[in-house]
Each structure stands twice: as structure tokens, then as C-alpha cells.
Structure 1
Amino acid sequence: MLMSNTDRPARLHYMANGFRVLAPGDHVVCAVSGERIALEDLRYWSVGAQQAYASAEIATRAMSPAH
């Protein structure tokens, strides 16, 4: 029986221009809000922190020096 990737978080390695899937899944979780982000909708992440963010606003806030 084949396992489905539906409703399972993926494990990713974030790089400057993309990401590599380390463990299959259909989403990741925003490091700040906890919101599920479908892999096809993932646009914002931190290479240094290896974290995903749900929006540009959240990513900017998370990476600001005051955070």
C-alpha cells in the first residue's frame, strides 16, 4: 500500500532560490503564526533560521533585528 502525502507536514531544507524536500508531505507550518502553508503556496522562508513564513509581513517581522 502506498502512503499518501495528504495532511502530512513536509520536512524541507531552505536554500536561497528554493527548497529541497527531505521528507514528503503536503504542507509546512509557519514558524510565527502556526498557520499551515501548502507547498505550492510557500513563498517566504529564512535560509539561516531554516523556517517557513506564511506571508511577507510575517517574514519581515520575524527577521527584523527587534524580533
Structure 2
Amino acid sequence: MLMKSGDEPATLIYGPNGFRMVRPGRFVPCAVSGEPIDLEELRYWSVERQEAYASAAIATARLSGQS
């Protein structure tokens, strides 16, 4: 069976002003909640930790050590 690129999460390299796709996909999982984040909706990530977050609140909590 052929798999579409949207069937699996993308692999990204996060930079300070954007991200670069290493493996195609349409989403990445939130590092805290595991919730899938469509790449078109991805707004929050950590360059240092190389992980994505589903919301500003989740990113703030994670980066302040609360999660």
C-alpha cells in the first residue's frame, strides 16, 4: 500500500525565523500534548529543543519549565 506524505508526521529542523522540512508530511506532533499540528498552522516551536507546540500557552509552560 502506498502512503501519502500526509499519513505520517513531517520531520522539521526549526530555526529562529522558520523551519526546514527534512521529511515530507502535513503535520507535526505537539511535544507536550501529542496533538497533531498542521504545518500551515504551526506558529510555536523551540529552536534550542527542536520541538513544536500546539499553542502559545503550551509553549510558554514548556519553556518556563512547567511541563
- Uncovered stretches (5+) of structure 2, i.e. residues with no partner: none
What value does the CA root-mean-square deviation take over the aligned residues? Answer: 1.5
Number of residues of Structure 1 aligned to a counterpart in Structure 2: 66
Q: Which residue of 1 aligns with 2:39?
A: 39
Q: Distance in 1 between matches of 2:21 and 2:31?
A: 17
Q: 1:4 to 1:57 in 2, by over 3 A?
A: same
What is the aligned partner in structure 2 of residue 52 from structure 1?
52
**Unaligned 5+ runs, structure 1:** none
Change (3 A) 1:66 1:54: closer
Residue 16 of structure 1: aligned partner: 16
Partner Cα distance (2:6, 2:66) in 1: 37
Amino acid across the alignment from 1:23: R
2:4 is aligned to 4
1:1-56 CA-to-partner distances (Å, cap 9, x unmatched) read x8521221000000000000001011000000010000000000000000000000
Identity score, percent = 59
Counterpart of 1:63?
A: 63
